[in-house]
Amino acid sequence: MTDTGAAHPGTTDAGAAYPGTTDAGATDAGAAQPEKAALPGTTDTETAHPGTIDAGAARPIAGEAGSAHPDAEPSAGIPPGLRAPRNQVSRRTPWYWTTTAIVEAVLLVGGLTAVAALCGLGSAWWTAIGSVGALLLLRAAVMPRWRYRVHRWEVTGDALYTRTGWFSVRWGIAPISRIQTIDSERRLPERIFGLANVTATTASAAGHIKIRGLDLATADRLLSDLSLATASIPGDAT
C-alpha cells in the first residue's frame, strides 16, 4: 500500500520546492525578492554596469571651464577653426626661441652701450640702457614658453590650420584646394636645434601660412602629406 500522503520516490510534493525551482507558495507578494544580479555585458535598469552612463548622471561638457586640460586631446567632430589645432611644435622650439632672444638682447644692449660710451652720454642714458636690458631678459624668460603653448597646427582633409603668436594670437586657415606650393626652410640656427619650417603658399590675398618649429621628421612627413593631398585635387588651385 502506498500512503497518499507520502511522496513517491522521484516525484515532488506540491508543497516542497524542487532544487533549482521556485515554489509558488514559498514567495508571496509581501516578501522581498532577492536583488537581481546584472548579467556581465548587460545593464540593469536599477544598477548601472561599469563603463556605462546612467541616464540620470551628468555628462561632462566639452570645453566646460575647469574640465579640460590645456593640452588635452580636442573633441572629435569639432572643426579646428572652433578649437585649438591638434599638434604642438617641437619641444626643442622653446630652447631655440630662448637662445635667439638672449642673443638679440646681448647684441642690442651691447650696441647701445658702445654708442653711449663713445658719445659720452649721461647717467640717464645708462639707466635707460639698463632698463632695456632688463626688459629684454624678461622677454627671453617669458616669451618662449608662452609662445610654445600658443603655437599649434593641424591638417585635415579640407584645410591646413595654424595658430601663432603670444600677446596677439593669429589664426591661419588654408583650404587644401587653394594651396599652390609647399616649401620647407631650414636656416642654420634652426638646423643646430634640429628644427625646420613649412610654408604653404595659397592663391588668396593672405599669401602663405608658415608652421615654425617642427622637428625634421615631422616637417618631412608634413611636406609629403600636403603634396599628396594637393595632388589629389583636380584644378589649378586658383
Q: Write out pLDDT tens, residues 172-187.
A: 998 898 888 899 989 9
Mean pLDDT throughout 61-80? Answer: 45
pLDDT score for 18:
39
pLDDT at 95 over 70: yes
- The answer for residues whose C-beta is within 8 angstroms of residue 88's C-beta and 6 or more apart is 71, 148, 151, 152
Higher pLDDT, 175 or 3: 175
CA dist 101 and 105 (Å) reads 6
pLDDT tier for residue 77 given thresholds of 50, 70 and 90: low
Query: 10 Å Cβ neighbour count for 48?
Result: 15
Mean pLDDT throughout 148-153? Answer: 95
C-alpha 16, offset from chain centre: 66
Mean pLDDT throughout 187-213? Answer: 89
CA dist 186 and 96 (Å) reads 13
Q: Write out pLDDT tens, residues 30-64.
A: 444 444 444 444 444 344 344 333 433 333 323 33
Q: State the burial class of residue 87 (Cβ atoms within 10 Å of its Cβ: 0-12, 13-18, 19+).
A: middle
CA dist 176 and 158 (Å) reads 6
Nearest to 222 by CA among 137, 155, 149, 132: 155
Q: Which long-range contacts (CB under 8 A, 24 or more apart) does 48-57 make?
A: none
Asked which of 107-116, 166-175, 204-213 is least confident by mean pLDDT, the reply is: 204-213
CA dist 182 and 174 (Å) reads 12
pLDDT score for 128:
94
